[in-house]
Amino acid sequence: MGLNTVTRNSVINVRHRELGANLDGDTWNGMPIPWSYNTDPNDEVAAVRTRAGLYDVTGLNIVNVTGADALEVLNELVTIDVAKLEPGTSRLAAEVNEDGALVDDIMVICDTKEKYRLSHGSGATQETLAKLSQGKEISFEQDFDVHILSLQGPKSFDILDPEVEFELQLLPYFKHVEATLFGREVFIARGGYSGERGYEVYCSSKDAVFIWDAILDKGKPYGVIPASWDSLDLTRVEANLLFFPFDMPEGDTTPWEVNMGWCIDLDKEADYIGKSAVLASKDKERIKQAGVICMSDEAVEVGSKIYKDGAEVGMVTSSSYSQYLMQSLAMVHIKPEFTALGTEVVIGEGVKAYVTKTPFYDPMRLRTHPKNID
């Protein structure tokens, strides 16, 4: 996943190598990624689901955007109404091109009405932002210093709460605060990519190894362990979370086709790139994102074609064999008329499968939004 071109490194690589990571393989966003450790990724998943796992997700691109015209420019970039974001909040947004097709998914983080951070993956966000910023009172630059540690799992709250000076229990999902953690200045956000309750710690590179070690040391009594990106991919498939651009392989996928309608504010008055096209594509989906359970003891191959009564009706975009759920899971694009729950299909060279409710794990998302915390 990604080009073998290194443009930046996580300072936590020293720990990743000690854990057995081979950082000479594929990169993502120009950064070597700890895809695997000496530990079994399925054991790491079990830790995340029952205790907590610590991920280094510094590979995300973080862009600082400031200026009197920051809000106006960001509103031209994304499909949500950025004006509705209050300081200390964030929201996932779609970015589309003039044809209404997805070109990136972005987390818009609002610190003040003139100061934002964008967290994005491998799309062309920064190139588009540069074009929109011409002649405007705005500045933006990628933050190459920030490191992001993601503590995921039911014990994440117990580990972090005693170490911060505010009531972590009162921090809602998609909210963030500036705080002191283990004596170091950080931002703490509630969220993650695992389908579990979790928190993301944004810190300076000079503090990243110290905080990584401190979280693991504090978490020892709770059974917390470092977790690799292979396990992160397993958890995100179980939680049916999209990975751009791998879950949008057609190249012209619209947000509606991958169930990202919640990333589009239909009442947004401000114009943005692709607005008319993306609104016109609503209810005209050619395919739909869905989940299927496969009758197999291994993961089906990504890209496999899906058949119904001998006719091709879709393809697999992501897959895994979940030892935690003891099921072969596939995230798929399939023609809308075949998305009814229980619809039986065949994948590839004869693997029987059926459409099921998603997320595969915790379909009511009570793990990410537990009633005793929200």
For the chain, what are the domain ranges? 13-58+146-238, 287-364
Query: pLDDT value at position 308?
Result: 98
Per-residue pLDDT tens over the stretch 89-121: 999 999 999 999 999 989 999 999 999 999 998
Amino acid at the residue 191:
G
How much is the average pLDDT of 212-239? Answer: 98
CB 61 within 8 A of CB 29: yes
Distance CA 261, CA 30 (A): 30
Please give the pLDDT value at position 369.
Answer: 84
Residue 176 near residue 201, CB atoms below 8 Å: no
Range 84-89 contact pairs with CB under 8 angstroms and sequence separation of 24 or more: 84/265, 85/110, 86/110, 87/111, 87/112, 87/113, 88/175, 88/176, 88/177, 89/174, 89/175, 89/176
Query: Looking at residues 82-91, what average pLDDT do you find?
Result: 97
Tell me the pLDDT tens digit for each residue of 151-162: 999 999 999 999
Residue 4 confidence (pLDDT) above 70: no
DSSP state of 279: H
If one looks up domain 13-58+146-238 in CATH, what number appears?
A: 3.30.1360.120
Q: What angle do CA 172, 139, 244 make, to 5 degrees?
A: 55
Q: Which CATH number fits domain 287-364: 3.40.50.970, 2.40.50.180, 3.90.1010.10, 2.40.30.110?
A: 2.40.30.110
3: pLDDT strictly greater than 50: no
Taking 50 as the threshold, does the pLDDT of residue 301 lie above it? yes
- The residues with which 329 forms a beta bridge, in sequence order, are 293, 320
Q: How far is CA 372 from CA 74, 154, 168, 346, in A?
A: 35, 12, 12, 42
Encode pLDDT of 139-149 as tens digits.
999 999 999 99
> What pLDDT, on the 0 to 100 scale, is given for residue 123?
87
Q: pLDDT at position 105, please?
A: 86
Mean pLDDT of the region 330-359: 98
The pLDDT, as a whole number, for residue 336 is: 98
